[in-house]
């Protein structure tokens, strides 16, 4: 049971408070970007390339322009006049807004049509005539690295290959020495395929440039409105759009998952169009455009190795990565971390040596690498370590649960310095796995598996015990385009004791309007019901870096607590004044200060706040407001123990997840209902790449499943009934001991599922399966192994 310090009426931490934001969503009154309608608004639609790599020899816009209702057709040449045809990516690479002469991937933006109506814009797209000279694209990242591969980024002066960057971490020599001498070594090649966030709302915006006041209001699907405002000012300051002239509003967002962090060409073209025409311009992607042109994640090729003893002590790991970024590095990582936080790959285990290296490469795919529900490549890292740990257990014929128990970092070893340099804040991995095994009934399942195997049936049990790294991050290391990754809260309490709290983050379904209110309620005793939370408007919210990578609770949540505590300090002074005692004589309980030993001599927070406006002590500032910008001293390290049980249909190769138990540890829990909901959703987004999702390209660069017809997002039928639970190991450095949870399940689930499938097939000599584990893949293996 989760202990609550506040009453249900106050609704502080630990209460499963029903969400405050739901009222509008369940009654059809949410305001998503496509719901915004401004007077004289125009519509933009985009002409896209049918080829993955081609020269553009001519664009004829005549017929399109002749269509009544069409106001403009914008091409790269038009933007070139303003030097807006290229833009920087978040990783300081460059990306075309619109091409002047070459397209680099299929479905790339080639021109944009602006018209008075949505349907006319779509008609005009068909009338824009583009002549191409197709070239042979480079789709395979290994081929892209070969010496004779055509150089794709000839726009970069002096570029002689397709290599983007090299990265490494750890002590190579010491690690190699351990591998040389180790009794047991295992090695596996893994591909974490390109997948898509597929939020049900696509991307879009309404750019509204007001010529008279030289002011831009940009309504857009963004998870990081303040950063976007700064980027707009940096890119368009030279044409007069300085930062005070730009207001970014992120309305209700229909799911983000990292896909709504980057700046896509469509946004920039809409701004340019509104700037040139002087009217609001709306751009909303189709689903197919969304699947084909943006919001990609993953696409890492990983070689993972583990060295250990014969009896199961892990000694070292090695990882070699090839990172396919498409034609530009448009990942949304903190600047100093080109592979994101991949270096969490040493996992939950106590061993001294690891070495990881990565090379990134250009190909003719769309710009890739958004942090899809993941702190920048943690998914890849966790897949690698949890898979290779199982390979090791299989090699020495040891139960994978026992192997994990034998190698876990002990709870008394925290803070723990990992072989690649992170300081894990806290954890109790033994407790988590123990609990997961009890809930799932591990020993009985192993017995059942043995019986089934004897009968020729295929059943597997897979474990994943992962350590996460979230809450980016301490400003000494973490920035995006130079802006430090702090986050903020501003709380104003009105005279009658009700409050408005604003944040630099932006919910996309996580429930911030409820959970942030609960944090303030916990600290101040003002009922969460009476705390209105606002985010997403850069004119009103304090500056922050936004919501992604499970950073909201670790950063803005902490800011909420500390801003509240500043207010409590002020409240104490006022209470002492009102009660005519000294501050030392006062004690706090949620909602009031009282005199020690005389509990009926008390002032409620509401009385105190009222006094702050009506009867404050002389010399004290009136009002009751506080702001805090929180710079975390460290990241937080949530963890989880997941166990998956699969049954495989021998006739079809179909994998069915029979049970899935997820025990998560995200420190202190703000709202159990919401945490559990996050886990359910994240698990389903872990199931998807494990069994169903992958964006597939042919050699010509055609995307083969770029619509919802053939990119299989799991429905309620594919998704199992998830079983969830928790342990609580508070973060010692976080003001409320919380750690963040959103991405844990997405990161932790895939290896549990793969480990279960491999476990089901291990007696046939199977040691690894590449994701997604589709029925044909399994069926083929069964046939090869003569098990049909």
Partner 1 sequence: MKEITVTVNGVEHTLEVDPRLLLVHLIRENLSLTGTHIGCDTSNCGACTILLDGKSIKSCTVFAVQVNGKNIATVEGLAADGLHPLQEGFKETHGLHCGFCTPGMLMRAVELLEKNPNPTEEEIRWGISGNLCRCTGYNNIVRAIQYAAAKMRGDELPVTDPEFV
Distance CA 257, CA 509 (A): 10
The pairing of strands 458-467 and 531-535 is unpaired
Residue 508 contacts which entry, ligand FES, partner 1, none (Cβ below 5-8 A, type-dependent): partner 1
Q: Which of 223, 508, 606, 676 is catalytic?
A: 223
Which is nearer to ligand FES, 147 or 717 (by Cβ)?
717
Which is nearer to ligand FES, 297 or 458 (by Cβ)?
297
Helix (H) / strand (E) containing 185: strand 184-192
Which is nearer to partner 1, 669 or 773 (by Cβ)?
669
Q: Which of 194, 229, 318, 373 is catalytic?
A: 373
Residue 346 contacts which entry, ligand FES, partner 1, none (Cβ below 5-8 A, type-dependent): none
| 614 burial type by CB count under 10 A (0-12 exposed, 13-18 middle, 19+ buried) | exposed
Complete edge-to-edge strand list for the sheet that includes strand 592-595: 586-589, 592-595, 598-604
Chain residues that interact with partner 1, rule: CB under 8 A: 16, 18-19, 21-32, 34-35, 37, 118-119, 197-202, 252-255, 257, 286-288, 435, 439, 508-511, 672-678, 680-685, 707-709, 713, 715-717, 719, 721-722, 724-726
Give yes or no: 3 in active site: no
C-beta separation of 718 from 425 below 8 A? no
Q: Is 743 left (phi over 0), alpha (psi -120 to 50) or beta?
A: alpha
Cα separations in angstroms, 388 against 182, 309, 384, 676: 16, 15, 6, 29
Give yes or no: 743 in active site: yes
Task: Supply the minimum distance, in Å, between the C-beta of residue 659 and partner 1.
Answer: 13
Cα separations in angstroms, 109 against 78, 268, 289, 788: 14, 12, 10, 48
Residue 759 contacts which entry, partner 1, ligand FES, none (Cβ below 5-8 A, type-dependent): none
Which is nearer to ligand FES, 258 or 326 (by Cβ)?
258
Distance CA 719, CA 702 (A): 30
Give yes or no: 508 in active site: no
Task: Supply the minimum distance, in Å, between the C-beta of residue 374 and partner 1.
Answer: 15
C-beta separation of 18 from 527 below 8 A? no
Distance CA 274, CA 280 (A): 6
Total length of the chain: 788
Give yes or no: 223 in active site: yes
Distance CA 97, CA 76 (A): 7
Q: Which of 188, 289, 490, 743 is catalytic?
A: 743
Task: Supply the minimum distance, in Å, between the C-beta of residue 32 and ligand FES.
Answer: 11
Which is nearer to partner 1, 147 or 717 (by Cβ)?
717
C-beta separation of 572 from 586 below 8 A? yes
Task: Supply the minimum distance, in Å, between the C-beta of residue 338 and partner 1.
Answer: 28
Residue 25 contacts which entry, ligand FES, partner 1, none (Cβ below 5-8 A, type-dependent): partner 1
Residue 683 contacts which entry, partner 1, ligand FES, none (Cβ below 5-8 A, type-dependent): partner 1
Q: Which of 205, 323, 374, 666 is catalytic?
A: 374
Nearest to 274 by CA among 74, 66, 37: 74
Using CB positions, name the residue nearest to ligand FES: 200
Task: Supply the minimum distance, in Å, between the C-beta of residue 709 and ligand FES.
Answer: 11
Distance CA 788, CA 780 (A): 9
* DSSP secondary structure letter of residue 503: E
Residue 26 contacts which entry, partner 1, ligand FES, none (Cβ below 5-8 A, type-dependent): partner 1
Chain residues that interact with ligand FES, rule: CB under 6 A: 200, 255, 509
Task: Supply the minimum distance, in Å, between the C-beta of residue 681 and ligand FES.
Answer: 8
Which is nearer to partner 1, 116 or 767 (by Cβ)?
116
Which is nearer to ligand FES, 105 or 257 (by Cβ)?
257
C-beta separation of 258 from 296 below 8 A? no
Task: Supply the minimum distance, in Å, between the C-beta of residue 287 and ligand FES.
Answer: 7
The pairing of strands 483-484 and 423-424 is unpaired
Please list the active-site residues. Answer: 223, 373-374, 743
């Amino acid at each position: 049971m989760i202990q609550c310090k506040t009453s249900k009426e106050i609704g502080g931490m630990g209460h499963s408070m029903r969400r405050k934001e739901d009222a509008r969503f369940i009654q059809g009154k949410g305001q998503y970007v496509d719901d915004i309608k401004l007077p004289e608004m125009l519509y933009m639609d985009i002409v896209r390339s049918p080829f993955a790599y081609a020269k553009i020899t001519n664009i004829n816009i005549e017929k399109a322009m002749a269509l009544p209702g069409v106001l403009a057709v914008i091409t790269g040449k038009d933007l070139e006049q303003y030097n807006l045809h290229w833009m920087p990516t978040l990783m300081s690479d460059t990306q075309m807004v619109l091409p002047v002469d070459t397209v680099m991937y299929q479905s790339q933006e080639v021109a944009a049509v602006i018209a008075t109506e949505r349907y006319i814009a779509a008609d005009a797209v068909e009338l824009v005539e583009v002549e191409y000279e197709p070239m042979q694209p480079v789709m395979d990242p290994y081929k892209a690295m070969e010496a004779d591969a055509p150089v794709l980024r000839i726009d970069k002066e002096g570029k002689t290959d397709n290599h983007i960057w090299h990265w490494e971490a750890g002590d190579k020599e010491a690690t190699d020495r351990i591998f040389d001498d180790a009794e047991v070594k295992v090695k596996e090649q893994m591909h974490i395929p390109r997948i898509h966030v597929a939020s049900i709302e696509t991307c879009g915006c309404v750019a509204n440039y007001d010529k008279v006041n030289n002011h831009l209001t940009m309504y857009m699907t963004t998870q990081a409105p303040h950063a976007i405002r700064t980027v707009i000012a940096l890119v368009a300051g030279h044409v007069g759009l300085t930062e005070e002239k730009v207001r970014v509003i992120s309305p209700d967002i229909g799911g983000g998952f990292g896909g709504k962090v980057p700046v896509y060409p469509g946004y920039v073209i809409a701004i340019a169009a509104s700037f040139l025409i002087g009217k609001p311009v709306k751009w909303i992607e189709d689903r197919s455009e969304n699947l084909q042109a943006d919001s990609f994640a993953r696409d890492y090729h990983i070689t993972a190795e583990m060295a250990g003893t014969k009896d199961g002590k892990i000694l070292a790991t090695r990882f070699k990565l090839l990172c396919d970024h498409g034609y530009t590095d448009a990942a949304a990582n903190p600047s100093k971390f080109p592979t994101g936080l991949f270096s969490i790959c040493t996992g939950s285990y106590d061993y001294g040596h690891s070495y990881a290296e990565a090379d990134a490469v250009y190909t003719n795919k769309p710009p890739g690498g958004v942090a899809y529900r993941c702190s920048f490549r943690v998914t890849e890292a966790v897949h690698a370590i949890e898979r290779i740990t199982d390979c090791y257990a299989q090699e020495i014929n040891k139960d994978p649960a026992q192997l994990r128990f034998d190698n876990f970092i002990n709870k008394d070893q925290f803070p723990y310095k990992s072989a690649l340099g992170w300081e894990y804040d806290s954890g109790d991995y033994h407790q988590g796995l123990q609990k997961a095994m009890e809930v799932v009934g591990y020993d009985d399942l192993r017995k059942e598996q043995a019986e089934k195997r004897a009968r020729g049936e295929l059943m597997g049990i897979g474990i994943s015990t992962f350590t996460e790294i979230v809450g980016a991050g301490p400003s000494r290391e973490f920035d995006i385009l130079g802006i430090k990754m702090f986050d903020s809260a501003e709380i104003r309490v009105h005279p009658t004791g009700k409050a408005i709290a604003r944040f630099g983050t932006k919910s996309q379904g996580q429930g911030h309007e409820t959970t942030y209110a609960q944090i303030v309620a916990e600290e101040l005793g003002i009922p969460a019901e009476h705390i209105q939370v606002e985010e997403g408007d850069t004119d009103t919210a304090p500056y922050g870096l936004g919501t992604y990578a499970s950073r909201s609770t670790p950063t803005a949540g902490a800011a909420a607590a500390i801003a509240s505590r500043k207010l409590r300090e002020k409240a104490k002074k006022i209470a002492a004044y009102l009660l005519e005692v000294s501050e030392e004589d006062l004690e706090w309980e949620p909602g009031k200060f009282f005199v020690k030993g005389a509990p009926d001599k008390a002032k409620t927070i509401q009385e105190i706040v009222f006094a702050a406006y009506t009867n404050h002590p002389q010399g004290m500032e009136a009002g009751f407001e506080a702001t805090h910008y929180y710079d975390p001293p460290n990241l937080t390290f949530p963890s989880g123990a997941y166990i998956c049980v699969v049954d495989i249909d021998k006739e079809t190769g179909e994998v069915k997840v029979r049970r899935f138990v997820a025990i998560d540890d995200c420190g202190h829990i703000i709202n159990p209902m919401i945490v559990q909901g996050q886990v359910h959703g994240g698990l389903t987004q872990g199931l998807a790449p494990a069994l169903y999702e992958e964006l597939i390209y042919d050699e010509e660069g055609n995307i083969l499943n770029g619509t919802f017809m053939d990119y299989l997002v799991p429905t309620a039928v594919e998704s199992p009934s998830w079983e969830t639970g928790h342990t609580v190991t508070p973060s010692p450095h976080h003001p409320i001991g919380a750690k963040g949870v959103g991405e844990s399940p997405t990161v932790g689930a895939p290896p549990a599922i793969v480990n279960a499938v491999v476990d089901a097939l291990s007696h046939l000599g199977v040691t690894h399966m590449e994701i997604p584990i589709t029925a044909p893949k399994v069926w083929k293996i069964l046939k090869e192994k003569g098990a049909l």
